[in-house]
């Protein structure tokens, strides 16, 4: 499998990798066909796990290579990672303020973004899309870094990142479809919207890989941009959602385990 990926261009590698992460989201969303009674406690633990994976991936797979790339330049080595990281967070913050969306479990009066009369389902899908864009971008940038010849970027490391994102996408898909089922949607519609939470990842992945290849000098900024975008999503949405039902200890331990899993994947295979 690794040899097959090695012979592809970075955009194709990113596409296949993010199709895998999307498939894992769909697999998690399919849990709604098993039953609608997955406990909120379990869902909170899953979200905590997802948060831990995203935090670890942000550093080990994105920020650390960006810092290494920035050393020995005419500018301070901290400058590109810092600028890229903050830019990623600000970018997601701006979209969060403009794009109409509604987080699962919230009332219509709590919708965010510009005012609109769009249907609740549309707003839910947009919220899910906003959440998953940084993950696809991170995978794409990682494969783009390999294609750009970054010494610290390896194909195994990019694959490890995709596997880690895929693992955490499984509980994310479940955490989307099951609450929708509880809101009264049919099993199929709950699954359909749940898997849609990952459909943006292949698009973001290809865009991220292509951007890096065509703008190699911007690579440390791109890597840290993806990290900043992911951290914004984790802190603004994933962690608060995992704590809403007061399953604090379980969600926190889930985060610790998720962080460890992603760290092991990156260090062992990167």
Q: What is the pLDDT of residue 35?
A: 61
In angstroms, rounded to a whole number, what is the distance separating the alpha carbons of residues 264 and 213? 28
Q: What is the pLDDT of residue 168?
A: 84
Which residues share a beta bridge with 101? 112
For 19, other C-beta atoms within 10 Å of its C-beta total 15
Residue 103's alpha-carbon distances to 44, 58, 91, 120, 121, in angstroms, are 15, 23, 19, 10, 10
pTM for the full model? 0.84
Q: What is the pLDDT of residue 42?
A: 84
Q: Which residue has the tokens 């296949």?
A: 16
CB neighbour list of residue 224: distance below 8 Å, 6 or more residues apart: 62, 63, 66, 80, 81, 82, 83, 84, 85, 88
Q: 205 and 97 in contact (C-beta within 8 Å)? A: no
- pLDDT tens over the chain, length 270 residues: 556 667 788 888 999 999 999 999 999 999 888 865 677 788 888 889 989 999 998 998 889 888 988 887 788 889 999 999 999 999 999 988 888 877 766 677 777 778 877 777 677 777 777 778 888 999 998 898 888 777 767 888 888 889 989 988 888 888 778 878 877 888 998 899 888 878 899 999 999 888 887 777 788 898 899 999 999 989 988 888 888 888 899 999 999 999 999 899 888 876
Q: What is the pLDDT of residue 37?
A: 63
Phi, psi of 239 (to 5 degrees): -65, -50
- Per DSSP, the three-state class of 112 is strand
Closest CA to 124 of 111, 139, 141, 113: 111
In angstroms, rounded to a whole number, what is the distance separating the alpha carbons of residues 95 and 24? 26
Residue 26's alpha-carbon distances to 121, 158, 161, 173, 260, in angstroms, are 18, 21, 18, 6, 24
Structure tokens given for 180: 């929708």
């Amino acid at each position: 499998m690794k040899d097959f990926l090695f012979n592809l261009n970075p955009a194709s590698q990113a596409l296949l990798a993010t199709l895998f992460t999307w498939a894992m989201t769909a697999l998690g969303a399919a849990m709604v066909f098993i039953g609608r009674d997955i406990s909120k406690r379990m869902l909170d633990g899953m979200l905590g796990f997802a948060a831990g994976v995203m935090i670890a991936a942000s550093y080990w797979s994105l920020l650390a290579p960006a810092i290494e790339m920035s050393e020995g330049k005419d500018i301070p080595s901290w400058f590109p990672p810092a600028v890229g990281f903050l830019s990623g967070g600000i970018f997601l913050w701006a979209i969060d303020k403009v794009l109409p969306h509604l987080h699962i479990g919230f009332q219509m009066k709590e919708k965010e973004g510009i005012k609109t009369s769009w249907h609740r389902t549309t707003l839910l899908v947009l919220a899910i899309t906003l959440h998953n864009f940084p993950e696809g971008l991170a995978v794409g940038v990682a494969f783009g870094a390999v294609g750009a010849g970054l010494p610290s970027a390896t194909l195994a490391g990019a694959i490890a990142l995709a596997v880690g994102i895929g693992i955490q996408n499984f509980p994310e898909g479940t955490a989307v479809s099951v609450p929708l089922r509880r809101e009264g949607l049919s099993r199929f519609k709950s699954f359909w919207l749940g898997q849609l939470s990952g459909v943006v990842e292949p698009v973001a992945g290809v865009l991220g890989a292509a951007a890096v290849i065509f703008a190699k000098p911007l690579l440390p900024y791109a890597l840290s941009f993806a990290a900043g975008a992911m951290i914004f999503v984790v802190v603004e949405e994933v962690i608060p959602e995992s704590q809403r039902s007061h399953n604090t200890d379980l969600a926190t331990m889930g985060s610790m385990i998720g962080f460890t899993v992603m760290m092991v994947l990156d260090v062992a295979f990167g």
